[in-house]
Amino acid sequence: MEQNIESHLKENRLFKPARAFAKKARIGSFEEYRKLYRESIEKPERFWAREAKELAWQLPWKKVLEWKAPDAKWFVGGKLNVSENCLDRHLDGPRRNKAALIWEGEPGEKRIFTYQQLHRDVCRFANVLKRNKIKKGDRVIIYMPNVPEAAIAMLACARIGAIHSVVFGGFSAESIRGRIADCGATAVITADGGYRRGTIVPLKQNVDAALAGKTTVKRVIVFRRAGNEIHIEEGRDVWWHRELEYVGAKCDPVALESEHPLYILYTSGSTGKPKGILHTTGGYLVGSYVTTKYVFDLREEDVYWCTADVGWVTGHSYVIYGPLANGATTLMYEGAPNWPEPDRFWRIIEEYAVSILYTAPTAIRAFITWGDQWVKKHDLSSLRLLGSVGEPINPEAWMWYHDKIGGGRCPIVDTWWQTETGVIMITPLPGAIPTKPGSATLPFFGVDPAVVDAKGNEVPPNVGGKLIVRRPWPSMLRGIYGDQARYRKQYWSEYPGRYFTGDGARRDKDGYFWIVGRIDDVLNVAGHRLGTSEIESALVSHAKVGEAAAVGRPDELKGQGLVVFVTLKAGAKPTPRLKEELRAHVGKQIGAIAKPDEVRFAEALPKTRSGKIMRRLLKEIAAGKAVTGDTTTLEDFSVLAKLASPEE
Ligand code: WTA
């Protein structure tokens, strides 16, 4: 497919940073952004060295970057420890007794850890790891609910140089088994259970199933969270709280090479088994530190809440490592956004006076369908900045977020990045870059992205193409664990020497990036390549639509016919007339070629546990086929059953 992706959705609204916000911001004008950006591209080593020096190094680096595509080494010769930077570094001054972590459990418990307390708990648990013969370089699976102990386990691994691999608590026993086998993990840290929508997820039971038969795992450490009954395998399983009785609170952070692996995080591609994305110590820490500082423009007094689960990369970089490296107060919530009622998020924001909220478009669209009355019940005036990540945010969802949640006064940072990139790559800086709803705007410092055609040439403004990155950045993945050949093929072979993101995008005349999503999500309707996200955005811009998913189905005439699945807002009636109205609406927004051949109403859409719509399943349903593909990442199976037997 040599043809370019066409982009039809035009968005003309522009929001300039408010003067009051800009005045206090670290980067307070567009000129300042441009100047620093230019330096970061022309003199990257100078830029990154200056930033990295703000962190604690046990041994200074000799060379900022060694680059032999596709292998990068950052801060070569330097030694440091991530947990020392996230904890010890803050203990000498007034941050010592500042809240590092605020946590709320789904049933309602509240816990607050100061930096001093979190440091002590991490040191003690690091001693538990040592006591259980876990050492530097060992791979440790963390399969936990979104509780402080998940963060403590990660930081404790980092403290002794063990490599953690967090597996999202919603994944199945099979998924855990596959990941253990792939990385040769010798230990698992888990909990008896975790709470999700009022029920207990049997985490330990899943671990038991994953370990049945032959396994490399010798030790399982179990945190008591839900109090549900579990099996304890003598000689293999130990309780977290019991182990603590045997250890002290002194544990020096180990000095680690800058390129020492920090973690492996598995991410699924559209084909093949999950890839173990490898991140290392120095570059990743510098990247998460710097992006959190500038993108969220953190202030000492902020209460910062990133709603991601620690099981995702966003939970790694922006719940734990980035905020803690900055000495921020980071909030963690265990459960579902609509438990016990759809106002749980707004309740939390009011309760803790959250000032920065970083969440996903899928959540925002769900809130829209649940209705504004849930938002209106709460005082959200503590908020000063909003963020979005995970998928393209539809302009109408952006506007709702801006008006209803941000009260029209909070800048929105729509941040584009990936598990592979480790940290935010394309994003507005809230005091400097004017935003356009639906655009991630401009590259972060040191990031050199471009939109190119099949031959690798940059395409003109407003022409769609593939998104690549032309030079290395500190937090880039260092490989796919155990499979460097796949690493090269997947990311570096399409455009030799340059990183291929797998995403489609266009730049407008101002150089702003508009990400249209994964290349695999592109449809070809009568010779036009359309990004599914544009069609979905057009639908979501209709007053009655909350969420939409567009997929292709085989069509003899057009190559692909367009089927859209639509979830209506609370109160809207699914009628044949509305279907017609929606077809016409898309036609008007994008053009006649994008008019859906079929509109199907759905109560809910099938999503992965990280909130991405599973278009692959919808495609099978749209084509009238039975769903055959892998559904292990599906959030809610009942959705699928309802879709397969449509209403009417
Ligand atoms: C998509 C999540 C548009 C994109 C951090 C990317 C986005 C994939 C955005 C990575 C955004 C993420 N606008 N698309 N702001 N953020 N994406 O690895 O397709 O779970 O390649 O990392 O999500 O997903 P991942």
Q: How far is the CA of 461 from the centre of ligand 1 (A)?
A: 22
pLDDT digits (tens, 9 = 90+) for 52-98: 999 999 999 999 999 999 999 999 999 999 999 999 999 999 999 99
**Whole-number pLDDT of residue 114:** 98
**Whole-number pLDDT of residue 72:** 98
Looking at the fold, whether 359 and 430 belong to one and the same domain comes out as: yes
Select from 248, 208, 247, 214 the least CA-distant residue to 230: 208
Looking at the fold, whether 126 and 214 belong to one and the same domain comes out as: yes
Q: Are 282 and 59 in contact (CB under 8 A)?
A: no
DSSP string, 2-71: -SPPB--------BPPPHHHHHHSSS-SHHHHHHHHHHHHHSHHHHHHHHHTTS--SB--SEEEEEETTE
Looking at the fold, whether 123 and 69 belong to one and the same domain comes out as: no
**Whole-number pLDDT of residue 57:** 98
Select from 151, 161, 152, 154 the least CA-distant residue to 81: 161
Q: How far is the CA of 360 from the centre of ligand 1 (A)?
A: 10
Angle at the Cα of 527 from the Cα atoms of 522 and 528, rounded to 5 degrees: 50
Q: Are 411 and 386 in contact (CB under 8 A)?
A: yes
CATH of the domain at 223: 3.40.50.12780
Count of CA atoms in the C-beta half-sphere (13 A) of 328: 30
pLDDT digits (tens, 9 = 90+) for 606-621: 887 777 788 888 888 8
**Whole-number pLDDT of residue 274:** 84
| In 538-609, beta strands by DSSP E | 545-555, 559-568, 598-601
pLDDT band at 641 (very low <50, low <70, confident <90, very high): low
Distance of alpha carbon 490 from alpha carbon 507, whole angstroms: 24
Q: How far is the CA of 612 from the centre of ligand 1 (A)?
A: 9
165: left (phi over 0), alpha (psi -120 to 50) or beta: beta
| In 281-359, beta strands by DSSP E | 303-306, 329-333, 356-359
Residue 12: inside a domain? no
pLDDT digits (tens, 9 = 90+) for 276-304: 999 999 999 999 999 999 999 999 999 99
Distance of alpha carbon 141 from alpha carbon 131, whole angstroms: 17
Residue 590: inside a domain? yes
Looking at the fold, whether 321 and 470 belong to one and the same domain comes out as: yes
- CB-ligand 1 contact for 484 (6 Å cutoff): no
Looking at the fold, whether 559 and 611 belong to one and the same domain comes out as: yes
Q: Are 563 and 553 in contact (CB under 8 A)?
A: yes
- CB-ligand 1 contact for 291 (6 Å cutoff): no
CATH of the domain at 595: 3.30.300.30
Residue 2: inside a domain? no
Looking at the fold, whether 533 and 468 belong to one and the same domain comes out as: no
- CB-ligand 1 contact for 314 (6 Å cutoff): yes
Looking at the fold, whether 155 and 181 belong to one and the same domain comes out as: yes
Distance of alpha carbon 238 from alpha carbon 143, whole angstroms: 15
Probe target for ligand 1 pocket from 279, 386, 391, with the most ligand atoms within 8 Å of CB: 391
Determine which residue's CA is closest to atom 12 belonging to ligand 1.
390
pLDDT digits (tens, 9 = 90+) for 100-154: 999 999 999 999 999 999 999 999 999 999 999 999 999 999 999 999 999 999 9
Least confident range from 233-242, 297-306, 570-579: namely 570-579
Domain end marker among 517, 541, 565: 517
Probe target for ligand 1 pocket from 7, 266, 291, 389, with the most ligand atoms within 8 Å of CB: 389
- CB-ligand 1 contact for 308 (6 Å cutoff): no
- CB-ligand 1 contact for 440 (6 Å cutoff): yes
User: Which ligand 1 atom lies nearest to the CA of residue 515?
Assistant: 3
Residue with token string 């620093």: 36
Neighbours of 220 (CB within 10 A): 21
Select from 128, 126, 132 the least CA-distant residue to 157: 126
E strand or H helix that includes residue 149: helix 148-160
Determine which residue's CA is closest to atom 24 belonging to ligand 1.
418
Count: domains in the chain: 3
**Whole-number pLDDT of residue 2:** 40
- Residue 34 contacts by C-beta under 8 Å, 6 or more apart in sequence? none
Looking at the fold, whether 68 and 125 belong to one and the same domain comes out as: no
Probe target for ligand 1 pocket from 416, 537, 607, with the most ligand atoms within 8 Å of CB: 416
Domain end marker among 231, 254, 277: 254
Determine which residue's CA is closest to atom 3 belonging to ligand 1.
392
pLDDT band at 629 (very low <50, low <70, confident <90, very high): low
Probe target for ligand 1 pocket from 278, 358, 418, 491, with the most ligand atoms within 8 Å of CB: 418
Looking at the fold, whether 345 and 476 belong to one and the same domain comes out as: yes
Looking at the fold, whether 569 and 599 belong to one and the same domain comes out as: yes
Residue 98: inside a domain? yes
Probe target for ligand 1 pocket from 284, 386, 515, 608, with the most ligand atoms within 8 Å of CB: 515
Looking at the fold, whether 128 and 173 belong to one and the same domain comes out as: yes
Distance of alpha carbon 292 from alpha carbon 424, whole angstroms: 9
Residue 1: inside a domain? no
Task: Decide the pairing of beta strands 219-223 and 187-191.
Answer: parallel
**Whole-number pLDDT of residue 321:** 98
Residue 242: inside a domain? yes
Q: Are 81 and 123 in contact (CB under 8 A)?
A: no
E strand or H helix that includes residue 80: strand 79-80
User: Which ligand 1 atom lies nearest to the CA of residue 314?
Assistant: 5
Stated length of the chain: 648
Q: Are 332 and 146 in contact (CB under 8 A)?
A: yes
Q: How far apart are the first and last CA of the chain?
A: 37
Looking at the fold, whether 485 and 547 belong to one and the same domain comes out as: no
Angle at the Cα of 270 from the Cα atoms of 644 and 476, rounded to 5 degrees: 140
Domain end marker among 465, 483, 517: 517
Distance of alpha carbon 174 from alpha carbon 176, whole angstroms: 5
- CB-ligand 1 contact for 419 (6 Å cutoff): yes
pLDDT digits (tens, 9 = 90+) for 418-451: 999 999 999 999 999 999 999 999 999 999 999 9
Angle at the Cα of 485 from the Cα atoms of 479 and 489, rounded to 5 degrees: 90
Residue 11: inside a domain? no
- Residue 354 contacts by C-beta under 8 Å, 6 or more apart in sequence? 303, 304, 305, 331, 348, 382, 383
- CB-ligand 1 contact for 389 (6 Å cutoff): yes
Q: How far is the CA of 227 from the centre of ligand 1 (A)?
A: 36
User: Which ligand 1 atom lies nearest to the CA of residue 415?
Assistant: 15
Select from 346, 398, 417 the least CA-distant residue to 376: 346
Q: How far is the CA of 361 from the centre of ligand 1 (A)?
A: 11
Examine the pLDDT at 334 and tell me if it is beyond 90.
Answer: yes
**Whole-number pLDDT of residue 253:** 98
User: Which ligand 1 atom lies nearest to the CA of residue 610?
Assistant: 20
Give the range of the structural domain holding residue 119, as residue numbers without chain letter. 86-254
Q: Are 24 and 355 in contact (CB under 8 A)?
A: no
Select from 427, 472, 467, 429 the least CA-distant residue to 449: 467
User: Which ligand 1 atom lies nearest to the CA of residue 312?
Assistant: 20
Residue 200: inside a domain? yes
Select from 641, 566, 640 the least CA-distant residue to 606: 640
- CB-ligand 1 contact for 515 (6 Å cutoff): yes
Select from 123, 124, 85 the least CA-distant residue to 320: 85
- Residue 119 contacts by C-beta under 8 Å, 6 or more apart in sequence? 87, 88, 91
pLDDT digits (tens, 9 = 90+) for 371-387: 999 999 999 999 999 99
Average pLDDT, whole number, for the chain?
Answer: 92
Determine which residue's CA is closest to atom 25 belonging to ligand 1.
418
Q: How many helices (H) and strands (E) does the chain have?
A: 21, 30
Torsion angle (degrees, nearest 10) of CA 300, 305, 311, 316:
-20
- CB-ligand 1 contact for 415 (6 Å cutoff): yes
Q: How far is the CA of 610 from the centre of ligand 1 (A)?
A: 11
**Whole-number pLDDT of residue 525:** 73
Coil, helix or strand at residue 401: helix
**Whole-number pLDDT of residue 238:** 98
Distance of alpha carbon 187 from alpha carbon 220, whole angstroms: 6
CA torsion sign for 497, 76, 83, 192 is: positive
ω into residue 145 within 30 of 0, thus cis? Answer: no
